[in-house]
Amino acid sequence: MVFYGGSFTYLIAAIEAYHLSGWEKTKKCYSELYRNYSNVVEADAADDRKLQEKDGAEGKTPEEMMSDEDYLNHKLDLVLKVISPQQAFDAAAAILAGFFAIVATLKYGAAASITLGVAMGFMFEKAVKLVCQRDVQYLFGEHRAWASPVLSALCCIAGVTLSSVMGETAFVLYSALKGSDFVVHACKDLVPRESTEQVDSDTDMACVLAKLVLAVLGFVKQVAWGYGVWFPLNLVVSPFLIADWVLGAAVVW
């Protein structure tokens, strides 16, 4: 993403749209769905044992003890009793919300600018809080509880404005920023330190400077020399290139 993020504009927009619209809720719903699935598996195994313990089973499998239609109805009734209807509905709603957010983002340029701008706004907010959070709170005085939400709103507005002005170049900037964040976060534990404490890459000044330098290099490289993926790296990332092409084709259709 740092040096070639401009090649994945549709993919980045789709991921950010889903991340902003309902990823947290979807993640929670997925865990609930998995728990429901585990409950169904356990209930199914217990039900099979119960059927085989009946008189006259004589080693038959549950499928052999009843007709296909009765067996299907029996298992369907079991599933409906075990699964939580509300959790299933919430999961479906969250997934659909994310899907429609992706469609809207890819279909309409304004939605893409807003999505990308809000994502950049969150990154700007982290930077501002790191540098001058106390100063911002001081400005609000007794109403410092409003400092964080107001700052978040202003950063999002700034991000959306910047995204609208920059156009496609905004994808290049965002990919460089986000990519550098991923790289530094993944590599921070590889650097030897005297302390054994975990390092927060969002607040550690060395990590922040490393992100900034890497992001600037990535942005300059993409603007100056283009963001096409060179051989043989294009073979490695070909699945992502194909996914981006498919999303782009879907927008045209």
Over the stretch 141-159, which tens digit does the pLDDT of each residue have?
788 888 888 888 898 899 8
The average confidence (pLDDT) of the chain is 79
- pLDDT band of residue 126 (cuts 50, 70, 90) is confident
Indicate whether 35 pLDDT > 70. yes
Dist. CA 133–CA 130, nearest whole Å: 6
Looking at residue 202, its pLDDT comes to: 72
Dist. CA 90–CA 96, nearest whole Å: 10
CA angle 182, 159, 131 (to 5 degrees): 65
- pLDDT band of residue 58 (cuts 50, 70, 90) is low
The pTM is what? 0.64
Our count of domains for the chain comes to 1
Nearest to 223 by CA among 182, 159, 172: 172
If you write DSSP's letter for every residue of the chain in order, what string do you get?
A: -TTTGGGGHHHHHHHHHHHHHHHHHHHHHHHHHHHHHHHHHHHHHHHHHHHHTSTT-TT--GGGGS-HHHHHHHHHHHHHHHS-HHHHHHHHHHHHHHHHHHHHHHH-HHHHHHHHHHHHHHHHHHHHHHHHHHHHHHHHGGGGGGHHHHHHHHHHHHHHHHHHHHTTHHHHHHHHHHHHHHHHHHHGGGS--S--SPP-TTT-HHHHHHHHHHHHHHHHHHHHH--PPPTTHHHHTHHHHHHHHHHHHHHH-
Rounded mean pLDDT of 121-134?
82
| Half-sphere exposure at residue 118, Cβ-oriented, CA atoms within 13 angstroms | 13
- pLDDT band of residue 162 (cuts 50, 70, 90) is confident
Indicate whether 56 pLDDT > 60. no
On whether the CB atoms of residues 44 and 78 are closer than 8 A, the answer is yes
- pLDDT band of residue 190 (cuts 50, 70, 90) is low
Q: Show the domain range for 226.
A: 5-252
- pLDDT band of residue 71 (cuts 50, 70, 90) is confident
Looking at residue 192, its pLDDT comes to: 60
On whether the CB atoms of residues 40 and 77 are closer than 8 A, the answer is no
Indicate whether 166 pLDDT > 80. yes
Indicate whether 164 pLDDT > 60. yes
